[in-house]
Amino acid sequence: QLQLVESGGGLVQPGGSLRLSCAASGFTNPSGFTNVIGWFRQAPGKEREGISFINRSGSLANYADSVRGRFTISRDNAKNTVYLQMNSLKPEDTAIYYCAQTSHWTLRPEFYRGWGQGTQVTVSS
């Protein structure tokens, strides 16, 4: 029943960087922020796409081929926050970005719960 909130999106030029944050809602007990956290994105007219996920301790992570080498996921459990550092941004990265949690090792969105409202990332000159 964990509810997450995304922030940090905005407008950036191609080649630029942004850092997104995913944090437990102020109305949710932060002690529940202990599971796998995933980042997803959805562009207009397209299905939701898994980007990256990170394990409970932050020692392991996986990435989609489209972002590997450009994006880095990390977490700070003391702050109840997961981050997504986005470098070398491309116009095709434009989307609404979401986070959610699961107890499984997967980027399939049907296994995730506690979705936030998303944060808009726009990459354009």
Task: Give the burial string for 93-125 (b: 16+ CB within 10 Å, else e).
Answer: bbbbbbbbbbeeeebebeebebbbebbebebee
pLDDT of 31 reads 57
9 has a pLDDT exceeding 80: yes
pLDDT grade for 30, boundaries at 50, 70 and 90: low
pLDDT grade for 79, boundaries at 50, 70 and 90: confident
Q: What is the DSSP letter of 55?
A: -
C-alpha distance from residue 98 to each of 109, 120, 124, 125 (Å): 11, 9, 20, 24
3-state secondary structure of 42: strand
Using DSSP, how many helices (H) and how many strands (E) does the chain show? 0, 10
63 has a pLDDT exceeding 90: yes
58 has a pLDDT exceeding 60: yes
